[in-house]
Amino acid sequence: MKLVIRSFLFAAGLALVAGPSYAGLNQNAKIFLHLGPVVAKNACTQVPTDCRNAGVVGNVGSFYNAYVAVGNFSDSVGVAGCQFGIQYLDASNVGVDIFAWTRCATLEFPSGDWPLNNSGNLVTWDPVNSCQVGPEPAVAGFFYLGIYSPDRLALIPRPADGQAKVANCLSAEDDLTGQAPSPLGYIDFGTGPGYNPCATIVAVAP
C-alpha cells in the first residue's frame, strides 16, 4: 500500500515522507461533487468558481456531468493531487449509471474497477506547470451519468487504503479522513438534499 501512495506522490512531483501524514496547510480542504448539464465543449471549466455554489441535487430520468473537485484549499501551497473513492447503487438501469469518466488533471491512478461502486482513484496535477493555486476549485474530472431511479452518488475514502487525501505543491499532504463535518460531498437524486462540504468551510491560510 505504501508503494501505491508513493507512486501517487511521485507522479505529482512530490516527495512522500514515511510515516503518518502531516499538515500541509490544506487541512480545511474539501473534495466535493458538482452536478451540471452535459456539455460538449470546455467541460472541465463548468464548476462554480465558489465551491459553496456547487449543485448537489439532481432528478431521476435525467443525464448529467458530475464533477469531482477540490475546494477551500490554501492558495499559498496549492493542490497537486487528491485521492478519493465513489459509492452508488451499482446495477444497470437502476439508480445511478456511470457511462464514462473524463480526467481534467494531468495524471491518474485508478483502481482496476474504476468507476464502479466502491472503487477509487488518485488524481494529480503537474506541480511545476499546472499546480492548482486557486482561488477557483481544482477540477479532477467528471462522470457522464444517467439517473434511472432514486440514488446517491457519494465521495468516500479511497477503498484501497481507506483514506481521502489532498497533496499540495510543496511535498506535503493532508489526510482528510474522519473529519467532522465530513469534507467529502455527495449528490442526491430523489433521495434528499445532497451534501456540499463547502457549506461548512472555515477560513484557510492565505
- Which grid coordinates are listed for 122? 488518485
What is the domain range of residue 17? 2-200
Q: How many domains does the chain have?
A: 1
- Which grid coordinates are listed for 90? 451499482
CATH number of residue 22's parent domain = 2.60.40.680
Among residues 13, 40, 45, 9, which one has the least CA distance to residue 163? 9
| Position 14 in a domain | yes
E strand map for 72-180: 81-87, 96-103, 107-108, 119-124, 138-147, 151-156, 165-167, 173-175
Using CA of residue 36, residue 107, residue 155, residue 101, what is the dihedral sign? positive
- Torsion angle of the four alpha carbons 116, 120, 126, 127, in this order, in degrees rounded to the nearest 10: 150
The rounded distance, in Å, linking the Cα atoms of 148 and 125 is 34
Among residues 15, 24, 102, 109, which one has the least CA distance to residue 67? 102
| Position 52 in a domain | yes
pTM: 0.87
| Position 102 in a domain | yes
Note the pLDDT of residue 12: 42
* pLDDT digits 0-9 by tens, 63-86: 999 999 999 998 889 999 999 999
3-class SS at 184?
strand
| Position 206 in a domain | no
The rounded distance, in Å, linking the Cα atoms of 154 and 93 is 18
| Position 63 in a domain | yes
Note the pLDDT of residue 76: 86
Query: Which residue matches cell numbers 479511497?
Result: 158
Ordered mean pLDDT values, 10 residues apiece, the chain (206 residues): 36 37 78 97 97 98 99 92 97 97 98 98 95 94 99 99 96 93 98 95 50
- Which grid coordinates are listed for 76? 499559498
How many other CB atoms are there within 10 angstroms of residue 40's CB atom?
Answer: 5
| Position 205 in a domain | no
Please report which helix (H) or strand (E) contains residue 189, including its range: strand 186-189
